[in-house]
C-alpha cells in the first residue's frame, strides 16, 4: 500500500525532535561536522508540514561520510548514498512512516547549502508566502492522500518559483 500523505498544522515538538537527532548526528560525525541545520517545512514555525524532520549537516569532506554508515544504521537510518542528487549523502529513518531525513553536503557545495537555507529563511520571514505554501500542501494532501507523485507535482511550480525568489532575497541579505 502507498504511503499515506498527511500534512499537519505546525507542532512545536518538531524543533525538539530536530535538536535530539542533531545531537546524535553530531556525535557520529564528530570532527567531520562543520555545522548542522534544521531545514524543510518542519523548521518554519507556523508552517503546516508532513511530520518529517529534515536535517542538513555540512561536513568537511563528503567522501569520508560513507565510513559512518554503520553508526547511522545503528540508530535506525537507511543509508541511500546520493539518492538522485549528486554531491549529497541521503539517509532516512522510519521506513514507510518516515520520521527523519538527513541531507549531508560538503562545505564546498555552496549552491545546494544556500538553496536549502534560503528557502527556509525566506519562509520564516515571508509569512504570506508561507501561508500560501501551507495551504497548497494541505489541499494537495487531501487531493492526493496516497499519491506522492501527484502531491509533489502539485507543489512543483510553486516551489520552483519560491526557490527562485528565495535565492534572490537570500543574495540581497548576504551583501
**Per-residue pLDDT tens digits for 142-169:** 999 999 999 999 999 999 999 999 999 9
| Domain 13-173 = CATH 3.30.460.10 | yes
**170 and 74 in contact (C-beta within 8 Å)?**
no
**Residue whose grid cell is 521506513:** 95
* Domain locations along the chain: 13-173
| pLDDT, mean over the chain | 96
* Cα–Cα distance, 11 to 90 (Å, whole number): 24
Q: How far apart are CA 57 and CA 25, in angstroms?
A: 8
pLDDT for 2 beyond 80: no
- Per-residue cell: 118: 534560503
**Is pLDDT above 80 for 175?**
no
Distance from chain centroid for Cα 70: 22
Tens-place pLDDT, residues 60-95: 999 999 999 999 999 999 999 999 999 999 999 998
pTM of the model: 0.95
- The pLDDT score that the predictor gives to residue 1 is 59
Amino acid at each position: 500500500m502507498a504511503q499515506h500523505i498527511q500534512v499537519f498544522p505546525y507542532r512545536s515538538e518538531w524543533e525538539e525532535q530536530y535538536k535530539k537527532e542533531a545531537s546524535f548526528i553530531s556525535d557520529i560525525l564528530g570532527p567531520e561536522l562543520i555545522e548542522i541545520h534544521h531545514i524543510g517545512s518542519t523548521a518554519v514555525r507556523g508552517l503546516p508540514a508532513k511530520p518529517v524532520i529534515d536535517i542538513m549537516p555540512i561536513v568537511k569532506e563528503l567522501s569520508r561520510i560513507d565510513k559512518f554508515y554503520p553508526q547511522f544504521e545503528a540508530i535506525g537510518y537507511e543509508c541511500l548514498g546520493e539518492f538522485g542528487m549528486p554531491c549529497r549523502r541521503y539517509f532516512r529513518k522510519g521506513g514507510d512512516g518516515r520520521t527523519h531525513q538527513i541531507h549531508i553536503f560538503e562545505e564546498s557545495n555552496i549552491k545546494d547549502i544556500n538553496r536549502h537555507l534560503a528557502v527556509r529563511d525566506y519562509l520564516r520571514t515571508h509569512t504570506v508566502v508561507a501561508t500560501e505554501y501551507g495551504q497548497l500542501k494541505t489541499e494537495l494532501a487531501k487531493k492526493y492522500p496516497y499519491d506522492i507523485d501527484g502531491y509533489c507535482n502539485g507543489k512543483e511550480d510553486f516551489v520552483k518559483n519560491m526557490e527562485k525568489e528565495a535565492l534572490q532575497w537570500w543574495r540581497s541579505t548576504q551583501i
